[in-house]
Structure 1
Amino acid sequence: MPTVIRIAVVVGSTRPGRRGESVARWVADTAAAHPAVIDGRAAVEVVDLAAFDLPLLDESVPAAFASYAHAHTRRWADTVAGFDGFVFVTPEYNHSFPAALKNAIDFLYAEWHDKAAGFVGYGIHGGTRAVEQLRQIMAEVKIADVHTQVALSMFADFTFTNPADPTDPGTCTPGPHHADALAAMLDEVIAWSAALKPLRAPAAEPLSV
């Protein structure tokens, strides 16, 4: 029976009132209609950083040694290790992505290796500059990032109950072209995650050549 490729939709902001939750729901709901999900070849699950309550990196041993002293680190490591690929949902904060997301990435090392990632950015400029910087981090943790990305505009792709209220998170309501871009990105993430699977085999398991 073929192995199901598991994709995490990572909510990259922990700010109260963040719009990332709504974006992640849209990603997950749209992904549910993807052919690979419908036929059971892939599964998509939302992973919310806020639910892990990670402090600023507090492990005394570098992540490369995988010697985790704290329960919150082990819980996060077990979660990340269980996925084959990721869709990072990130806003743009001051020309970059949130500190909470960088901190969560830095907690781990091997758990990220030889997996694939795509990006859904949102913000005044569609989160494009945040994604640009996030791509550089992916290389350091041995994640293959795919080309296609989604860039959601705060002006065109959200509906607000009270636009004058800065605390109103709004609802993610992207145009149809964004769903097309997301579907193409998922094609790439799922395919790359499957292609990299032999590299994720345990060290004790010999790889066929």
Structure 2
Amino acid sequence: MTHPTLQIILASTRPGRRGGAVAEWMQHVAREQAGFTIEVVDLAEVGLPLLDEPHHPRLQQYTRDHTKAWSATINRAHAFVFVMPEYNHSFPAALKNALDYLFVEWADKPVGLVSYGGVSAGLRSAAAIKPVLTALRMVPALEAVSIPNVNELLSEDGEMRADAGLDAAAKAMLDEVARLAHVLMPLRVPA
């Protein structure tokens, strides 16, 4: 594997969300790293209903077309970056639902966390998701990106203007995710 596939998953589905600008910035930083094939996955576009499969995801006996498509999307990734706001001291329900739809497809893959919000920078979102990720046998990168006061970093046209510190944090996280992707590859169950 020369270039692992990195999926940047935009977790917020709310109208007026700020995550699109953050995900675009992450995509730009990841392209500069030149170590990934990059896909952006927007949970608002995926549109998964609330858990409607009759069987446990561990069995991979999917009956719904949206679940089969979601499985195929996640299966082709080697690593992830979750771009997520903080909602009520936790991560978005749409992300929890998307995670719970699958099991095997997530296992033995690294994930970098990019949280954003107001003064708290979405830190409680990142803390809340880690037990869920480890239960799915994912490997959260120790390096993470926390963006405080995200609204102050957005230009009038909605583009994120990250400073050198945020760029450096993103690059460090992506380096770790890339290293983990290569190390974890032999552990993955073939699709």
TM-score normalized by the length of structure 1 = 0.86
3-state SS of the aligned residue for 1:100?
Answer: helix
Q: 2:8 maps to what in 1?
A: 9
Q: 2:139 maps to what in 1?
A: 144
Over aligned residues, Cα RMSD in angstroms?
1.6
Q: Does residue 113 of the first structure (1) align with residue 113 of the second (2)?
A: no
Q: 2:182 maps to what in 1?
A: 194
Structure 2 gap segments, 5+ residues each: none
Query: Higher strand share goes to which structure?
Result: 1
Query: Higher helix share goes to which structure?
Result: 2
3-state SS of the aligned residue for 1:23?
Answer: helix
Q: List aligned pairs for 1:1-209, cutoff 5 A.
A: 2-34=1-33, 37=34, 41-124=35-118, 125-154=120-149, 157-159=152-154, 161=156, 170-202=158-190
Name the aligned partner's letter for residue 110 of structure 1. Answer: V
User: How far 1:201 moved relative to its partner?
Assistant: 4.4
User: How far 1:156 moved relative to its partner?
Assistant: 6.9
User: How far 1:60 moved relative to its partner?
Assistant: 1.0
* Cα separation, 1, equivalents of 2:106 and 2:151: 33
Preserved contact between residue 155 and residue 161 of structure 2 (Cα < 8 Å)? no
User: How far 1:3 moved relative to its partner?
Assistant: 3.5
* Cα separation, 2, equivalents of 1:97 and 1:114: 21
3-state SS of the aligned residue for 2:32?
Answer: coil
User: How far 1:155 moved relative to its partner?
Assistant: 5.3
Larger Rg: 1
User: How far 1:202 moved relative to its partner?
Assistant: 2.5
User: How far 1:61 moved relative to its partner?
Assistant: 0.6
Name the aligned partner's letter for residue 91 of structure 2. Answer: F
Name the aligned partner's letter for residue 166 of structure 2. Answer: H
User: How far 1:42 moved relative to its partner?
Assistant: 2.1
User: How far 1:11 moved relative to its partner?
Assistant: 0.2
Preserved contact between residue 114 and residue 196 of structure 1 (Cα < 8 Å)? yes
